[in-house]
Amino acid sequence: MDDKQLLRTGMCTARASRSAVDREAAGARLASHADALVALARRTDRDEPAESHSTIAAYAGVADEPPTRPLLDALVAHGVTVLLPVVAGTDRALDWAPYEGWERLTNARWGLLEPTSDPLGARAIETADLVVVPALAVDRRGHRLGRGGGFYDRALENVERERRVAVVYAPELLANVPSEPHDEDVGWVLTPDGVTELTG
C-alpha cells in the first residue's frame, strides 16, 4: 500500500469515528464562513470588474464528509448561484447543474446526491468564480488528497489554483500530503475554523 493509500485509509477511519453531533456542529460552522467565500469569489484577480453576483461550484457532502447543506443554503442566501456536480457517464467526467435546494437533490451512484435541474455541461465549472471541492486531507502547500477516483483532478484542469477551495475538518489540514504529477492542487482550504490561503 503506497503512502497516499495509507493516509487515505487513516483519514477515512478518523472520519468514521466522528459523531453525528460533531458533524452537525462542523456543518454549521462551515456555513458561518459563507461570507468569506463570497468575498473570495468576488475578488478581481482575473482582470475582470468586480461582480455583485457570483457563481460558486460546490458539492453536497454525504456520509461522514463535512456537511455542506448549511453552507450551500447560506451561499444561496447571499445571492450566489451554486452549481453541483453530476457524474455524467462512464469516463469519470463531471457535469454541473444548478442547486435549487436540498430537497431537489436525488440519490446517485456511490451514495452521492445530485441536482435534478438541467445540466449545463462539463465546462460550466470553468466560468465559476470559485470551486469548492471535497477532500480527505490537504496540506499547507495546497496538495489535496481525494478518494482516488480522479474526478476532481480532471474537472480542475482548466480552473486556476487560486479559484480552488478544499473543504476538510480542522485536523485534516496536515503538514504534508503525498502528491503526484497528475494531482491538482488547491489555493485555499475551508475548515470549520475558517478560510485559509495555502502557500503553494
Domain boundaries, the chain: 3-44+51-197
For 3-44+51-197, the fitting CATH number among 3.90.110.10, 3.40.50.10420, 1.10.274.100, 3.30.450.20 is 3.40.50.10420
Angstrom distances, CA of residue 31 to CA of 72, 147, 161: 8, 23, 22
| Predicted pLDDT of residue 71 | 98
For β-strands 188-191 and 144-145, DSSP reports them as unpaired
| Predicted pLDDT of residue 199 | 85
Residues of the chain with pLDDT under 70: 1, 44-52, 89-92, 200
| Predicted pLDDT of residue 92 | 66
Q: Which neighbouring-strand residues pair with 80?
A: none
- The sheet carrying 188-191 orders its strands as 94-98, 81-87, 55-57, 130-134, 164-167, 188-191, 194-197
Angle between helices 34-41 and 69-77 (to 10 degrees): 60
pTM as predicted: 0.92
